Structure 1
Amino acid sequence: MPKLTHSEAPLPFPILIGDIGGTNARFSILVDAYAEPKHFPNVHTADFETIDAAIQQGVLDKTAVQPRSAILAIAGPVRGDEIPLTNCDWVIRPKTMIANLGLEDVLIINDFEAQALAIAGVSEEHRETIGETSEGMIASRAVLGPGTGLGVAGLIHAQHAWIPVPGEGGHIDLGPRSERDFQIWPHLEPIEGRISAEQILCGRGLQNLYHAICKVDRIEPVLVQPADITTHALAGTNAQAEETVTLFVTYLGRVAGDIALIFMARGGVYLSGGISQKILPALQKPEFRAAFEDKAPHSALLKSIPTHVVTHPLAALAGLSAYARMPANFGLATDGRRWRR
């Protein structure tokens, strides 16, 4: 058997698992490959000056278990020894973490790689199927997550392993198709002259779309927060909010179908994140699947691909735990993203 390289060797247990977002950080400790993760209360990133302080006070001070290694998923690309987070002031410095927190091994990956790891083994208990589709085969999959932004990742199945493929697919172009789209599009807020998928398919995108609809309808917007829009839409108490969510799921269906084609995701397309869970009743209506399947000349292919909403409350941590237990099952690239004492 060939000797494992420095970057391929399994992380030593106990392992600190972390999903680091702009607002919240979620942590657990995996004592060994067979134990259930020990979860800790969510940490608000604004409450701590550094991630090291958050880990020390939010995790290490609350347990007698001293992790030997850590695997952390963050929003953004991982480059160099100082890794800034996209939506908060923390900068992750793995060498400092090793020196200050008693760790000997730190692996940092992209947050949607963790979501991709999670969908490799998500159970029926933790997903809701959208529409009537046949069960997916053991084949490549994709995940989209409308939230603070729009995350996208692929999960390629090859050589009996799952290979997560991160990227910035949320920033692909999104254009108008219907007559109503052409009315709305001039009123959307672009970035440097273009509308990306993320300009509509995220929390602020819901607001962007709602305000554009209000302008076309020549009424003053009365709803302020994304949660206000989705709540009124699902309750049927505001016409513009209803149309906003209907168009949101339509556009999400179009983008999900595009991503399915790019990754040939015969194993299914999964929607993650809080927005997808909240608007599940709207996603279950015909518009999402109709837009997903409307991909001539490959509509028959898209009809055969299942779509699901991930309902696991800690999906990213579950994905990281699956990798930590059985790294050989995943083709996760670690070069340049792993630091050892």
Structure 2
Amino acid sequence: MVALACDIGGTNTRLGLVRNGILLPESTGSYANDEFEDFYAVAAAFLRERREHRVDSVCIALAAVATAEGATLTNRDWTIARDRVAATCSAGKVDFINDFEALGYAMGQVEKLETQCLTPDTAAGQPGPRLVLGAGTGFNASAWCPSRFGGEPHVVAAECGHMTLPLAGETEFSLQCALSAGRGRASVERALSGRGLFEIYQWQCAQAGRPPRAETAAAVSRGAVARQDEDCVAAALMFLRFLGRVCGDLALAYLPFSGLYLSGGVSRALAPLLAEDPTFLSAFRAKGRMAGFMETFPVHLLCDDGTALHGCAEWLRLTLAAGG
């Protein structure tokens, strides 16, 4: 049985072939969404390049709220419909899941993933949930929860990017005014995304009375990691403070004793600061009387941007095992 795994983000689409529930690493490919009219064109190009005329089933992870019939992406004007996907891929079955739901399913096989430990002094962790969350084009999270009574684990999906951004202190409330201008409020995603990092940088430059020199979020990340631009560094550290605080809040909600895993392009771009600067972990653990308890959660960075494809493969395996 050959299936197609798809991870459709706001910026890129990643695809891979799955045989009997196992992702074939040599088959994977990544495509820039700006170069295609719609997802169907991406899927057709992928299958054509690999000389596959049809697949038995398709699992699509979307940066959106997924329904049985498809979804419209949150950060791109693409609507993906089940019947058109089936026609494009000549597939008998098409499933849609949230992109972070896919990352959650990948947590069941985390030993196969490329990761970097950010808390080397923390024990490996006791049996319990794993939480995956992170910042890229947007922000979200999901929790992988092992079964207490046998059987398969389950994944709890969420829409955490639309929660209200937690703020502390006069400086952050000043930033909140900038992030919420014309929007009514500042959501988590308004700060914790590529666009959010750039808006924080613009605010930082205005506060310092200097014109912005970086023109993109990627340039801000590079300037911060290289310590070449003080405004880039200040913006990145503010970003990491928010990231640590939100991660800490979600850790208290889900109690990920088996580990918390950071994902997303912005998180990976700031990896040196995550590993070397105390800002993220300090904010993560700053929970008053629960500060000591927060040290029990191992924190890792997911280094492989194909993790969601592994999650789609796991979804396909579970579906096949269940006779779906």
The answer, yes or no, to whether TM exceeds 0.5 is yes
Distance 1:44 1:186 in 2: 33
**Bigger Cα displacement from structure 2, 185-194 vs 125-134:** 185-194
2:60 corresponds in structure 1 to 72
- 1:237 equivalenced with 2:225 (yes/no): no
Q: Would the aligned equivalents of 2:105 and 2:311 in 1 still touch at CA under 8 Å? A: yes
2:291 corresponds in structure 1 to 299
2:278 corresponds in structure 1 to 286
Match of 2:101 among 107, 110, 113: 113
Once the two structures are superposed, the pairs formed by residues 118-137 of structure 1 within 5 Å of their partners are 118-123=106-111, 126-131=114-119, 132-137=121-126
DSSP-derived class of the 2:122 partner: coil
1:212 corresponds in structure 2 to 203
Match of 1:36 among 24, 31, 34: 24
Distance 2:74 2:102 in 1: 16
1:5 corresponds in structure 2 to none
**Bigger Cα displacement from structure 2, 32-41 vs 230-239:** 32-41
Q: Would the aligned equivalents of 1:175 and 1:195 in 2 still touch at CA under 8 Å? A: no
Match of 2:300 among 305, 308, 314: 308
Change (3 A) 1:229 1:99: closer
Larger Rg, first or second structure (1 or 2): 1
Once the two structures are superposed, the pairs formed by residues 119-198 of structure 1 within 5 Å of their partners are 119-123=107-111, 126-131=114-119, 132-158=121-147, 159-160=149-150, 161-190=152-181, 192-198=183-189
Change (3 A) 1:93 1:180: closer
**Deviation of the 1:34 alpha carbon:** 5.5
Change (3 A) 1:236 1:96: closer
**Deviation of the 1:221 alpha carbon:** 1.8
Distance 1:75 1:185 in 2: 25
Distance 1:15 1:188 in 2: 42
Distance 2:310 2:155 in 1: 15
**Deviation of the 1:28 alpha carbon:** 1.1
Question: Which amino acid letter does the alignment assign opposite residue 152 of structure 1?
Answer: A
Match of 2:6 among 5, 10, 18: 18
Distance 2:68 2:285 in 1: 41
Question: Which amino acid letter does the alignment assign opposite residue 161 of structure 2?
Answer: G
1:55 corresponds in structure 2 to 43
Distance 2:320 2:142 in 1: 20
Distance 1:45 1:263 in 2: 33
Q: Which blocks of at least 5 consecutive residues in structure 1 are unaligned?
A: 1-12, 331-337
Match of 1:277 among 256, 268, 276: 268
Q: Which blocks of at least 5 consecutive residues in structure 2 are unaligned?
A: none
How big is the alpha-carbon RMSD for the aligned residues of Structure 1 and Structure 2?
2.5
**Deviation of the 1:65 alpha carbon:** 6.5
Distance 2:92 2:22 in 1: 21
**Deviation of the 1:51 alpha carbon:** 2.7
Distance 2:10 2:307 in 1: 17
- Which structure's residues are more often helix, by fraction? 2
**Bigger Cα displacement from structure 2, 48-57 vs 210-219:** 48-57
Match of 2:241 among 250, 263, 278: 250
Question: Which amino acid letter does the alignment assign opposite residue 75 of structure 2?
Answer: N
Q: Would the aligned equivalents of 1:183 and 1:216 in 2 still touch at CA under 8 Å? A: no
**Deviation of the 1:191 alpha carbon:** 5.6
Q: Would the aligned equivalents of 2:47 and 2:53 in 1 still touch at CA under 8 Å? A: no
